[in-house]
């Protein structure tokens, strides 16, 4: 799966200009979680982007030719009832110093691993980057949600999880989603190999049944992000502004299934 994800991301970033529209030159989310310069794995910590060296260097005209634009991932997830750690006015200074992975939900831990695997140092997660007990911060940050997702490098989606305790990475049998191959010999024609795939209605109904797809706010996250990687209990599904891919169809869904995703594009 790691190789497949890396291939999808690489192909999208390098060959699909519609997925790589230039983001606003000096705009970034107010706060991000810093996972540390790769390949080191430092304790994750909250950062204020306009105070962080990587973002300050990018904004400095004297460094423009030497510093690439920092990228960040976002996370789409169903909150559930439990949030062991969330950003509050009382702990913001402590979170800037770093926080233990034991304090966060499994979905967040898995998202950090996925980001690390894609060599992404920064990630935005709503409950860790918006001050949850500040109405003023919520009002200010909520006006920028479109830009947060629209200018992210990738949106990592816990599509199959009902809450943060389930994580992203599920055990499943790859044979369960492999297309069935049938060799058929029609009278008067040479034998030919056919792939049996489900109909659009079944595919769409199952996709809509995933927990995250039943949450209204997740629609903007799915539509606005330039590329999105869905982790489900059945398989990985990739959506960007041109392609829809899955582990069943790593080179592209059949047209009659892909049509279901036109709304995303």
Q: Find the mean pLDDT for residues 84-106.
A: 93
Pairwise CA distance, residues 68 & 100, whole Å = 29
The model's confidence at residue 64, banded by pLDDT at 50, 70 and 90, is: low
Tokens found for residue 133: 């007990």
- Which residue has better confidence, 109 or 21? 109
The model's confidence at residue 137, banded by pLDDT at 50, 70 and 90, is: very high
Q: Find the mean pLDDT for residues 107-125.
A: 94
Lowest mean pLDDT among 32-36, 38-42, 127-131, 200-204: 38-42
Q: What percent of the chain has pLDDT over 70?
A: 91
Stretch (H or E) spanning 33: strand 31-34
- Which residue has better confidence, 42 or 136? 136
- Which residue has better confidence, 248 or 133? 133
What pLDDT does residue 131 have? 96
What pLDDT does residue 264 have? 59
* DSSP assignment letter at 259: G
Q: Is the pLDDT of residue 61 over 60?
A: yes
Tell me the pLDDT tens digit for each residue of 23-50.
667 789 999 999 987 666 679 999 999 9
Q: Find the mean pLDDT for residues 235-249.
A: 88
Q: Half-sphere exposure of residue 149, counting CA atoms within 13 Å on the CB side?
A: 22
- Mean residue pLDDT across the chain: 86
Say if residue 248 is exposed, middle or buried (CB neighbours under 10 Å; 0-12, 13-18, 19+): buried
Q: Is the pLDDT of residue 243 over 70?
A: yes
What pLDDT does residue 96 have? 96
Q: Which residues contact 127 (CB under 8 A, 6 or more apart)?
A: 79, 83, 86, 87
Largest CA distance in the chain: 78
The model's confidence at residue 51, banded by pLDDT at 50, 70 and 90, is: very high
Q: How many CB atoms lie within 10 A of CB 103?
A: 10
The model's confidence at residue 189, banded by pLDDT at 50, 70 and 90, is: confident
Residue 265 and residue 12 in contact, taking contact as beta carbons nearer than 8 Å: no
The model's confidence at residue 257, banded by pLDDT at 50, 70 and 90, is: confident
């Amino acid at each position: 799966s790691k190789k497949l994800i890396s291939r999808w991301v690489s192909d999208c970033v390098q060959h699909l200009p519609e997925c790589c529209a230039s983001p606003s030159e000096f705009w970034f989310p107010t706060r991000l979680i810093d996972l540390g310069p790769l390949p080191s794995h430092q304790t994750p910590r909250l950062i204020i982007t306009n105070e962080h060296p990587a973002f300050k260097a990018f904004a400095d005209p004297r460094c423009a030719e030497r510093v690439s634009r920092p990228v960040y991932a976002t996370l789409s997830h169903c909150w559930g009832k439990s949030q062991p750690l969330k950003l509050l006015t009382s702990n913001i200074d402590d979170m800037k110093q770093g926080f233990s992975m034991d304090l966060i939900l499994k979905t967040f831990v898995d998202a950090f691993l996925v980001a690390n695997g894609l060599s992404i140092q920064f990630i935005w997660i709503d409950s860790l980057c918006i001050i949850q007990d500040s109405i003023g911060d919520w009002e200010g940050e909520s006006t920028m949600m479109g830009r947060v997702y629209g200018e992210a490098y990738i949106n990592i989606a816990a599509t199959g999880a009902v809450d943060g305790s389930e994580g992203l990475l599920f055990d499943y049998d790859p044979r369960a989603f492999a297309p069935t191959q049938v060799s058929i010999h029609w009278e008067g024609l040479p034998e030919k190999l056919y792939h049996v795939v489900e109909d659009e209605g079944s595919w769409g109904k199952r996709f809509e049944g995933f927990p995250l797809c039943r949450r209204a706010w997740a629609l903007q996250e799915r539509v606005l992000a330039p590329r999105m990687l869905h982790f489900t209990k059945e398989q990985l599904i990739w959506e960007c502004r041109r392609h829809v891919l899955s582990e069943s169809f790593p080179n592209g869904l059949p047209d009659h299934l892909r049509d279901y995703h036109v709304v995303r594009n």
